[in-house]
Chains A and B, each alone.
Chain A
Amino acid sequence: MRALIERFTKPRSGRTDPAPSRLTYRFQRWMLTPGIRFGVRFGIPFCLVFVAGAAFMADEGRRDQLQVLVNDIRASIEERPEFMVNVMAIDGAGTSVSEDIREVVPIDFPVSSFDLDLTQIRDEITGLDPVESADVRIRPGGVLQVTVEERTPAVVWRSREGLALLDDTGVHVAELGARNLHPNLPLVAGEGADMAIEEALRLFAVAKPLGPRIRGLVRIGERRWDLVLDRGQRIMLPSKKPVPALERVIAVSEVRDLLERDVAAVDMRLAARPTVRMTQAAVEDWWRIRQLNAGGQ
């Protein structure tokens, strides 16, 4: 009885030594070799995972199943109400522009915000003529917010195609049916007039003293301007520095009433030699007066 208890309570004194067997020793040394260590730690798990994955993917049915599963999960996340977009709100655009925008961005709501390509939408909206810039974002609450800045028409351009509205950089804003829809916008004409709208606006600003006499500016040869007044009068401006030339004509006109007289054209194309062309009737009058004077002598 005692011996039994002692055996359980006390380890035997002559314990065997923990000497490794030859095989264990060799195996341990083998496992401590760097290449083998790396292989066991990374190579074998990688191979196992790869083989298991390849075996699973070898069957087409399972592959499709996996694809379906992935798509389902993806759809379930995308179609959560937090990500859905229900309405499009357009700010800063008039009714016709809004309709145009809704036309070029045909989205049938509700749609997931993952399916919306905001950059593309923005490019499409910006591609519209009357839109200067657009800002597209998804507002919390499922609203596709489109903030639009419209172009403001600055001039009316009469060309062969008809009347058009241009903004102050010469970009086409809209077609215009009739001139009297925008009676207070200045009129330009001629080919290539839209390329020099900024200059035209400066000229209109300078020509303000002429008041209602101004009919418009005509682009000649795509390089210079003619200012057309009523009674068929024209002020032909040089292609370079037209503004000082016009200022000069206006100054002369105010002092000498040049434009009030029967003048057909004021030619300022050569700055050194301004020329005034009289009308046919005026020339004949002038000849008659000279003859009268000569006859009188």
Chain B
Amino acid sequence: MTDLYQSQRAMRQMRRQAMQRGVVAILDVGSSKIACLVLRFDGTGRLSEDNSIGSLAGQSGFRVIGAATTRSRGVQFGEITAMQETERAIRTAVQAAQKMAEVRVDHVIACFSGANPRSYGLDALVDLEGQVVTENEIARVLAACEVPEYGAGREVLHAQPVNFALDNRSGLSDPRGQMGQTLAVDMHMLTVDASTVQNLVRCIQRCDLELAGIASSAYASGFSALVEDEQELGAACIDMGGGSTSISVFMKKHMIYADAVRMGGDHITSDISMGLGVPTANAERIKTFHGGVHATGADDREMIDIHADTGDWEHDRRTVSRAELIGIMRPRVEEILEEVRARLDAAGFDSLPSQQIVLTGGSSQIMGLDGLASRILGQQVRLGRPLRVHGLPQSATGPGFASAVGLSLFAAHPQDEWWDFEMPVDRNASGTLRRAVKWFRDNW
């Protein structure tokens, strides 16, 4: 536990250095594309002249000065499977973004979607030593959380205190300085496979970059695709990516649950590829241009050319009706959404006060997905696009960039994690001596 604490703190330190230098890169390592944004931080955002909050709600402390995407290679289900290939893809994206930004980037904040994220709810309750809640008390209550046995080979990615309760008052976000007897905390902890994280870290290091932070893409896309009310009142963000579909549930502006379904747009493409007998690239093109999930009468008559390159005239000139294509795509989309529904049910999403569901990610651009999703997931479904940030090119404003944009918001305004608080004094190595002194003083 302590070494994780140290490594996460080291990353925070790195992030602070990057802020001082003013330039940081955002890297979204996805299964179908790798996106790299270069952010320039130029102080905190100014309010507009009439002191009203502008359209960016104070998120204007940074500016995107470089953006690049490249086709991802060697990534499956959001996990790195071929490191050399992934490293080359990251290099491509970073180089292009650097070229656009005309500045050298040394620090990278990365996110990924796979690695079997698992959520744990932790809580703890301590009696306060004094009457007042101090920093040390908060550290003590956080340290008192009973960490479940999450298994070997797993690592904690996020551990955020979601809620504090002082005596019988709950729902406090910052109890420091308040008076009370007992302090309780609810914490959300997200663990992922350690090997995946290590692979990603290794890849980034091989590109001569320093890792200044790492996040789950479920968290990042929820951060950008959900509007403020939804984050406050409770909502689920479903990021339908290429290799995996990640789910995050937000409430009171904190992520309280995250999960991932290991299915995504690539599976739809491979279904089309298998069903029609075309290469994956063609299947991807057909899916993008003609795909859908609701067949109508007109779709029976709309014939789609399947281009092929075999040299066989008959084989290259095949056509398929759009209804057939939809017939291939729909079961897979339904399967994904049902799996998402199952995960949400298991997490107890029904008991939340608000049932809002936001679909984002590249695969959410399938025509008619919102209609299908509202049938499976419930009535309150909308398609979400990421927040607009300064300098973001038009080509990077689509739902596929939700996690990249969310990660830039995360880079600018990170939420408090467990390792942002000080270690409690009696846990520290240097505290041992102090404890001995205290023991002596108490006994003599």
Residues of chain A whose beta carbon lies under 8 Å from any beta carbon of chain B: 2-3, 6, 13-14, 17-20, 22, 24-26, 28-29, 32-34
* A/B interface sample: 8 pairs, CB < 8 A: A3-B311, A17-B70, A19-B70, A19-B91, A22-B91, A26-B208, A32-B104, A33-B104
Residues of B within 8 Å of A, CB-based: how many? 21
Q: How far is the CA of A3 from the CA of B316 in the complex (A)?
A: 13
Contact for B89 among A13, A17, A28, A32, CB less than 8 A: A17
- Are A19 and B104 also in contact (CB < 8 A) when A14-B281, A29-B208 are? no
- The reply on B245 being an interface residue by CB < 8 A is no
CB <8 Å contact, B95 and A25:
yes
Contact for B95 among A6, A13, A28, A33, CB less than 8 A: A28
Chain B residues closer than 8 Å to A34, beta-carbon distance = 104
- The reply on B320 being an interface residue by CB < 8 A is no
- The reply on B98 being an interface residue by CB < 8 A is yes
Chain A nearest Cβ from B11, distance in angstroms:
21
- Are A20 and B92 also in contact (CB < 8 A) when A25-B207, A29-B98 are? yes
Q: A28-B95, A28-B99 are in contact. List 7 more A-B contacts (CB 8 A).
A: A13-B282, A17-B70, A19-B88, A19-B91, A19-B92, A20-B91, A25-B207
- The reply on B279 being an interface residue by CB < 8 A is yes
CB <8 Å contact, A32 and B92:
no
CB <8 Å contact, B95 and A20:
yes
What per-residue 1/0 map shows which CB atoms of B272-312 lie under 8 Å from chain A? Answer: 00000001011000000000000000000000000001010
Chain A residues closer than 8 Å to B99, beta-carbon distance = 28
Most chain A CB neighbours (cut-off 10 Å) among B91, B94, B99, B207: B91
Q: How far is the CA of A34 from the CA of B99 in the complex (A)?
A: 13
Q: How far is the CA of A28 from the CA of B208 in the complex (A)?
A: 12
Chain A residues closer than 8 Å to B208, beta-carbon distance = 25-26, 29
Chain A nearest Cβ from B15, distance in angstroms:
20
CB <8 Å contact, B98 and A28:
yes
CB <8 Å contact, B95 and A17:
no
CB <8 Å contact, B91 and A32:
no
> Nearest chain-A residue to B308 (Cβ)?
A13
Q: How far is the CA of A192 from the CA of B207 in the complex (A)?
A: 98
CB <8 Å contact, A19 and B89:
yes
> Nearest chain-B residue to A22 (Cβ)?
B91
Chain A nearest Cβ from B127, distance in angstroms:
54
What per-residue 1/0 map shows which CB atoms of B99-117 lie under 8 Å from chain A? Answer: 1001110000000000000
> Nearest chain-B residue to A30 (Cβ)?
B104
Contact for B91 among A3, A25, A33, CB less than 8 A: A25
Chain A residues closer than 8 Å to B282, beta-carbon distance = 13
- The reply on B71 being an interface residue by CB < 8 A is yes
CB <8 Å contact, A17 and B92:
yes
Q: How far is the CA of A100 from the CA of B98 in the complex (A)?
A: 80
- The reply on B253 being an interface residue by CB < 8 A is no
- The reply on B262 being an interface residue by CB < 8 A is no
Chain A residues closer than 8 Å to B309, beta-carbon distance = 6, 13
Q: How far is the CA of A295 from the CA of B92 in the complex (A)?
A: 149
Chain A residues closer than 8 Å to B40, beta-carbon distance = none
Chain B nearest Cβ from A8, distance in angstroms:
14
Chain B nearest Cβ from A12, distance in angstroms:
8
